[in-house]
């Protein structure tokens, strides 16, 4: 699989796991943390990162990205080191390509970094 463009998502704030995400989980998989994105949600599970992206004006068409943690080769996190940092980001290098995650002011970049470390290093 080749992704010519860099995928980019923005995580705004931590939320309760949306009910319909549970329908996407396989036996033994559990949701760990969810974040609001511009149009939908991103959920860290015990096995992968699931990003739901509602599309179109009605939002009825939904694209779902599923990134198994085993596909992540390397990641980096960047912020200005201040308590309130509005330009934080995380980058993932995967077998599928490069993914950039912008971290909104309502989300904690260190929490996200910790979730990714937990997920990748346990695999």
Whether the predicted pLDDT of 83 surpasses 70: no
* 43-73 per-position pLDDT tens digit: 999 999 999 988 766 667 888 999 999 999 9
For residue 77, give its domain range. 7-122
Model confidence band, residue 84 (pLDDT cutoffs 50, 70, 90): low
Within a domain: 17: yes
Within a domain: 117: yes
- How many CB atoms within 10 Å of residue 96? 16
Within a domain: 31: yes
Within a domain: 32: yes
Number of folded domains in the chain? 1
pTM: 0.85
The sheet carrying 31-36 orders its strands as: 61-68, 48-55, 41-45, 31-36, 7-15, 97-106, 88-94, 72-78
């Amino acid at each position: 699989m080749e992704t010519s463009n860099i995928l980019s998502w923005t995580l705004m704030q931590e939320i309760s796991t949306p009910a319909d995400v549970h329908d996407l989980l396989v036996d033994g998989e559990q949701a760990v943390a969810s974040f609001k994105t511009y149009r939908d949600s991103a959920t860290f599970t015990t096995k992968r990162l699931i990003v739901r992206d509602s599309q179109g004006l009605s939002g009825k068409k939904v694209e779902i990205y599923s990134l198994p943690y085993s596909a992540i080769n390397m990641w980096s996190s960047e912020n200005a080191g201040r308590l309130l940092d509005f330009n934080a980001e995380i980058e993932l290098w995967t077998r599928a390509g490069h993914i950039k995650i912008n971290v909104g002011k309502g989300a904690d970049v260190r929490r996200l970094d910790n979730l990714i470390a937990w997920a990748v290093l346990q695999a």
